[in-house]
A = this chain, B = another copy of it.
Amino acid sequence: MRLEEMLSTHPRPPQMGVPEITAFIRTCFECADVCLSCADACLSEEQVQSLVRCIRLNQDCADICEVTGKLFFRQTEADAATFRAQLEACIAVCRACAAECDKHADMHEHCRICAEACQECLQACVQMQERYPSPSAGAIS
């Protein structure tokens, strides 16, 4: 609830609807948190050896999604080129992490949930890209 209130009372209102941007930020932060927890759950599994790649990608995905959430939460003087590039980084890491977690989804429920969260975050980033079209898009060549 409070994230939405914060954006509503911000002296610079978001460039899109408050519910829409709040949902995006929440998705990024949730994916970051779920990845942190998946890395930790994998570390406690007996077959940790087989989950090494999963743990590593969970860590990268947690780090990148957290920063994506922070960037879009800040309303002050944003740089569009940075936003575009950060969305690409977030899409890349969510794709890699979802693919890896998916391999363990039958064995480990936490990997199944994490793959789901990564997929959702990836989709949210793809949708957000429409708001930040690359400067050359639509240009007559």
- 1/0 per position for A122-135, CB-CB distance to B under 8 A? 00000000000000
Where chain A touches its partner, the secondary structure class is: helix
- Nearest chain-B residue to A8 (Cβ)? B109
Copy number of this protein in the oligomer? Answer: 4
**In the docked arrangement, what's the CA distance between A7 and B37, Å?**
8
Contact of A63 among B2, B12, B40, B70 (CB under 8 A): B70
The interface size of chain A toward B, counting residues with CB under 8 Å, comes to 63
Judge if A23 is at the interface, Cβ distance under 8 Å: no
B85 close to A91 (CB less than 8 A): yes
Task: Return the CB mask of A63-100 against B: 1 if under 8 Å, else 0.
Answer: 11001011101111111011011101101110110000
Where the two chains meet, the residues of A that have a C-beta atom closer than 8 Å to any C-beta of B are 2-3, 5-7, 9-12, 29-30, 33-34, 36-38, 40-41, 43-46, 48-49, 52-53, 55-57, 59-60, 63-64, 67, 69-71, 73-79, 81-82, 84-86, 88-89, 91-93, 95-96, 108-110, 113-114, 116-117
